[in-house]
Amino acid sequence: MDLRHLRYFIAVAENLSFTRAAERLHIAQPPLSLQIRQLEEELGVTLLHRTRRIVELSDAGRIFLEQARQIIRATQSAVVQAQRAQRGEIGQLAVGFFEHMSYTLLPPVLSAYRERFPSVDVKLRWFPVIGQADALARGDVDISFMRAVPGIEEVQRQTILTDKLMLALPATHPFAARNKIALRTCADERFIMYVPNLAPDFHNMIIGMCANAGFMPQIALEVGQVYTALGLVSSGAGLAFVPTSVKGVKFNGVIYKPITGRTPKIEVMLGWRQRIPSPLLMAFVETAKLVAQAAHPT
């Protein structure tokens, strides 16, 4: 018994006529009659009572008709669902992110993705930037926002945003009136730095920038997150280097200033470990790239 037998039987049962059923199925009547007899022989039951003039469902036929319809509907649904999965429209996706993604790139990406693929169940998991590769390796997430920190060598990834550092300073600072700030003028300033073991890329980048400007930064204190650094800047604790993508974050008493000259690039990437990424995953990547390009055009 296969799906063809079920479709043939349903057609005969709904038309109560082999002739009309054959016309509906676009086949000749003798092969149709043969298929129904084979189905009855396989089941060991009489599904249809036939005379020269009428065709009637037996009690077993009425029960079998209901079940056959359910099987056909389930099969059709399975085909549709499989096609939707192939297009990345359904399923579950666990997404890892680090701190400043939560108030910069992640919200518009998530909003756009859910609008395009409302049937995908997105699970969000926070990890420090240094922990994203391990989260992927453990299978805690399917895809993660990442920066260029140790441990990403085994991760497949695509850059979705190229950022750079700017200075956040108290609105009352003497530099507040400047359009841009030359780092060499900051040698006597105190800085809020990033803890090396949590944000090694930012820490090393800042140390290198200051060294190129001819000084080593005076560290007021070290923090693990950009938002914390901004809060401390607002208190007057010091200046902080922050990604330009956070300039939309409004903090009372904090202003942002670009740095003169060339500054190192910050690559924000999406990483995954699937050797052949699923359509579900790649749809998220493509959505993130479109959103990032619109929000931060090169």
Question: Is the same domain home to 77 and 110?
Answer: no
Question: Is the same domain home to 251 and 180?
Answer: yes
**pLDDT, position 275:** 81
| pTM, full prediction | 0.74
Question: Is the same domain home to 82 and 104?
Answer: no
Alpha-carbon distance of 72 to 78, in angstroms, equals: 10
Q: How confident is the model at residue 140 (pLDDT cuts 50, 70, 90)?
A: very high
Alpha-carbon distance of 236 to 219, in angstroms, equals: 14
**How buried is 69 (Cβ within 10 angstroms: 0-12 exposed, 13-18 middle, 19+ buried)?**
middle
Task: Say if residues 170 and 190 touch (Cβ distance below 8 Å).
Answer: no
**pLDDT, position 150:** 83
Domain range for 272 is 91-160+267-295
Q: How confident is the model at residue 144 (pLDDT cuts 50, 70, 90)?
A: very high
Question: Is the same domain home to 168 and 253?
Answer: yes
Domain boundary among 54, 69, 86: 86
Count of domains observed in the chain: 3
Residue where the block lists tokens 């924000």: 268
pLDDT digits 0-9 by tens, 222-237: 999 999 999 999 999 9
Question: Is the same domain home to 273 and 258?
Answer: no
Task: Say if residues 157 and 289 touch (Cβ distance below 8 Å).
Answer: no
Q: Which of 158, 156, 133 is nearest to 273 (CA)?
A: 156
- Quick count: other Cβ atoms within 10 Å of Cβ 183? 22
Domain boundary among 86, 107, 136: 86
Question: Is the same domain home to 167 and 118?
Answer: no
Q: Which residues contact 24 (CB under 8 A, 6 or more apart)?
A: 11, 15
Q: Which residues contact 49 (CB under 8 A, 6 or more apart)?
A: 55, 56, 57, 58
Q: How confident is the model at residue 151 (pLDDT cuts 50, 70, 90)?
A: confident
pLDDT digits 0-9 by tens, 257-296: 999 988 899 999 999 988 888 888 999 999 999 999 887 7
User: Helix, strand, or coil here: 48?
Assistant: strand
Question: Is the same domain home to 179 and 58?
Answer: no
pLDDT over threshold 80, residue 90:
no
Beta bridge partners of 163: 266
Residue where the block lists tokens 């319809």: 69
**What is the chain's mean pLDDT, rounded?**
91
- Work out the end-to-end distance of the chain between its first and last CA atoms, rounded to an integer number of angstroms: 61
Question: Is the same domain home to 209 and 231?
Answer: yes
Which CATH number fits the domain that encloses residue 63?
Answer: 1.10.10.10
**pLDDT, position 54:** 87
Question: Is the same domain home to 151 and 271?
Answer: yes
**pLDDT, position 297:** 65
Domain boundary among 45, 71, 86: 86
Question: Is the same domain home to 139 and 272?
Answer: yes
Question: Is the same domain home to 10 and 61?
Answer: yes
Which CATH number fits the domain that encloses residue 210?
Answer: 3.40.190.10
Q: Which residues contact 14 (CB under 8 A, 6 or more apart)?
A: 21
Question: Is the same domain home to 260 and 271?
Answer: no
pLDDT over threshold 80, residue 87:
no
pLDDT digits 0-9 by tens, 163-196: 999 999 999 999 999 999 999 999 999 999 999 9
pLDDT over threshold 60, residue 298:
no
